[in-house]
């Protein structure tokens, strides 16, 4: 059987969630390793939560990350359409088939009755489940009520006895008592399927061989297993990957970390670094290496080796990995990247030679484009008072400017001149170097100072230093 995997995101958010990107990567790798196909299907049946443009952004983020799909709503395929809202006619037909087999029934309960039922269950500390009232209605009577236009949904008819068991490729055998499985609504009153019916039908019709999704769906899987059995269909292989967590073990959420792929793109994270990091969250490369490509992952990946413990999404570790990929870029490629991602992109393009010549100064020191912007601003834009971390010693800086105007323009001459100035004025040369750094960059820490000065050139350095005399906070040398 051909290996066919899929992800089925809902266009209800700003973009592709980083957790969905993680699941997409695993699905893609499993399919590619087996020479199969990776499919994207859009599950847009929750019409109340749709976000305009979300589907387009989801597909764009997958493309940017470098997770290509073989079939989907944008490129079609042999089992189109790949958007649930375009497949509505089939869902009703299958739901009616289940009713004919006594595996489903019409439910006419109002929302008010259901709410009252749930409150009663809560008061008695019972699990919130449908009480089966409409299951007792004579099938002919129920059909007549439907034909007369009475508002209704269709529910699964879950067996009252026995267990439903499936084998998870990661977690092993999982069993649920049928008495704990709700008579789930599978077709809503508006004719749209719920997730449970839609996902089973679509996966069957699209010949999905492996269902790989987040662990939050484990409790829903027995419902899906029952539906496969009700229809008499072959059950795909199933795996539930662990949900990504914050360092404090809470579920990954935008309240504590950026969660959209576009957030990381905007901050200058490289797609290959993101994929490498996601791959390493719950799986380890056999030889222990940290840096590896998706193709290298494909060659050795085994889904059964995925850890079941919750992977910690640590932005600091991602920062480290992103820096490793920055370091792989040559100066020209790094300058090109910063010219596209930086907030100073216009100035960088205009001074591309400066961006390229200073690239080796920044590559070892920045982990994302926000850090680059903060550290490299002095190269491209005038500093403001708010940019300075400490007051400037006006007397020292005037001496430094006067010295810079005439000394030979090379590393040794500049260093020797500053040291000689310190000795002659009874000033620690280290303090003079720090004064020069503060005046030039506004920061106490940054790229190598003298290399930055040489890259800028004498005229630009003097211009920046004189401006700092005007805008930086002032600290005057106390009178002797």
Instruction: Give yes or no for a cis peptide into 413 (omega within 30° of 0).
Output: no
Give the tens place of pLDDT for each residue, 229-238. Answer: 999 999 999 9
Residues 155, 104: contact at Cβ < 8 Å? yes
Residue 393 has pLDDT above 80, yes or no: yes
| In 147-297, beta strands by DSSP E | 153-156, 163-168, 172-177, 185-187, 210-214, 237-241
One domain for residues 93 and 59: no
Kind of pairing, strands 474-475 and 392-393? parallel
pTM score, whole prediction: 0.92
For 251, phi then psi, to 5°, come to -65, 140
Q: Is residue 194 part of a domain?
A: no
Tens of pLDDT, residues 358-388: 999 999 999 999 999 999 999 999 999 999 9
Query: Where does the pLDDT of residue 478 fall: very low under 50, low under 70, confident under 90, or very high at 90 and above?
Result: low
Answer whether residue 351 is part of any domain: yes
Same domain, 352 and 391: no
Q: How far apart are CA 80 and CA 63, in angstroms?
A: 20
* 113 lies in the same domain as 59: no
Is residue 210 one of the residues assigned to a domain?
no
Residue 228 lies in a domain: no
Residue 101 lies in a domain: yes
- In this predicted model, which residue has the larger pLDDT, 45 or 347? 347
Residue 327 to residue 292: CA distance in whole angstroms: 14
Task: Examine the domain organization and report whether 52 and 123 are in the same domain.
Answer: no
Identify whether the C-beta of residue 133 lies closer than 8 Å to the C-beta of residue 161: no
Asked whether residue 211 is assigned to any structural domain, the reply reads no
Count of domains in the chain?
Answer: 4
Do 316 and 377 fall into the same domain? Answer: no
C-alpha distances in angstroms, 224 versus 41, 131, 218?
A: 18, 20, 10
Q: Structural domain of residue 161, as residue ranges?
A: 88-187
Q: Are residues 375 and 427 in the same domain?
A: no
Q: What CATH number has the domain bearing residue 121?
A: 3.90.800.10
254 catalytic? Reply is yes
Q: Indicate whether 323 and 335 sit together in one domain.
A: no
Same domain? For 172 and 122 the reply is: yes
**And the tokens for 425?**
């004025």
Question: Which among 313, 302, 230, 218 is positioned nearest to 274, based on CA atoms?
Answer: 313
In a domain, 251, yes or no: yes
From the candidates 126, 229, 251, 254, which is the catalytic residue?
A: 254
**Considering 309, 328, 347, which residue would you say is the last residue of a domain?**
328
């Amino acid at each position: 059987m051909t290996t066919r995997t899929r992800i089925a995101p809902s266009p209800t958010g700003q973009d592709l969630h980083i957790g969905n990107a993680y699941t997409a990567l695993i699905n893609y790798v499993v399919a590619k390793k087996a020479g199969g196909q990776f499919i994207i299907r859009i599950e847009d049946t929750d019409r109340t939560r749709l976000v305009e443009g979300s589907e387009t952004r989801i597909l764009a983020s997958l493309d940017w990350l470098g997770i290509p799909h073989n079939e989907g709503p944008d490129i079609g395929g042999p089992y189109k359409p790949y958007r649930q809202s375009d497949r509505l006619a089939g869902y009703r037909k299958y739901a009616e088939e289940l009713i004919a087999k006594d595996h489903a029934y019409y439910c006419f309960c109002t929302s008010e009755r259901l709410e009252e039922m749930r409150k009663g269950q809560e008061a008695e500390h019972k699990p919130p489940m449908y009480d089966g009232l409409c299951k007792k209605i004579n099938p002919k009577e129920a059909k007549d009520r439907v034909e007369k236009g009475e508002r209704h949904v269709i529910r699964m008819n879950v067996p009252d006895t026995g267990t439903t068991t499936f084998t998870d490729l990661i977690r092993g055998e999982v069993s649920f008592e049928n008495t704990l499985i709700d008579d789930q609504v599978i077709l809503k009153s508006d004719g749209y399927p719920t997730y449970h019916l839609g996902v089973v039908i679509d996966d069957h019709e699209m010949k999905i061989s492996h269902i790989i999704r987040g662990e939050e769906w484990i409790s829903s899987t027995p419902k899906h297993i029952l539906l496969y059995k009700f229809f008499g269909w072959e059950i795909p292989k199933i795996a539930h990957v662990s949900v990504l967590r914050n360092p404090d073990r809470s579920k990954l959420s935008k309240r504590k970390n950026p969660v959209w792929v576009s957030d990381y793109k905007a901050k200058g994270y490289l797609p290959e670094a993101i994929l490498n990091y996601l791959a390493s969250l719950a799986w380890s490369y056999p030889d222990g290496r940290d840096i590896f490509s998706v193709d290298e992952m494909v060659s050795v990946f085994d889904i059964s080796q995925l850890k079941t413990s919750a992977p910690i999404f640590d932005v600091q570790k991602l920062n480290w990995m992103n820096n490793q990929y920055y370091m792989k870029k040559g100066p020209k490629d790094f300058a090109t990247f910063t010219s596209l991602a930086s907030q100073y992109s216009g100035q960088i393009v205009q001074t591309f030679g400066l961006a390229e010549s200073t690239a080796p100064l920044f590559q070892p020191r920045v982990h994302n484009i926000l850090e680059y912007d903060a550290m490299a601003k002095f190269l491209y834009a005038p500093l403001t008072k708010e940019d300075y971390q400490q007051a400037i010693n006006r007397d020292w800086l005037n001496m430094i400017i006067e010295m810079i105007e005439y000394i030979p323009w090379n590393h040794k001459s500049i260093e020797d001149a500053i040291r000689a100035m310190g000795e002659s004025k009874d000033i620690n040369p280290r303090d003079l170097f720090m004064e020069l750094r503060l005046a030039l960059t506004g920061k106490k820490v940054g790229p190598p100072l003298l290399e930055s000065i040489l890259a800028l050139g004498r005229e630009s350095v003097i211009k920046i230093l004189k401006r700092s005399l005007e805008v930086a906070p002032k600290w005057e040398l106390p009178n002797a």
